[in-house]
Amino acid sequence: MLPLVAGKLARWGQPLGTAAARAFASDAVTVGQQNPFLRFSSPIPKDIDHSPLLSTLPETKVTTLPNGLRVASEHLPFTETTTLGVWINSGSRFETDETNGAAHFLEHILFKGTKKRSVKELEVEVENMGGQLNAYTGREQTAYYAKVLGKDVGKGMDILSDILLNSNLDERAINRERDVILREMEEVR
Name the residues annotated as catalytic. Answer: 107, 177
For the chain, the distance separating the N- and C-terminal CA atoms, rounded to the nearest angstrom, is 40
Q: CB under 8 Å to 48, separation ≥6 — which residues?
A: none
Question: Which of 147, 174, 176, 173 lies closest to 160 in space, CA to CA?
Answer: 147
**What is the 8-class DSSP label of residue 167?**
B
> In degrees, to the nearest 5, what angle opens at C-alpha 129 toward C-alphas 59 and 76?
15
- H helix and E strand count, the chain: 6, 7
As a whole number of angstroms, the distance between CA 77 and CA 183 comes to 43
As a whole number of angstroms, the distance between CA 102 and CA 145 comes to 19
Beta-bridge partner residues of 5: 8
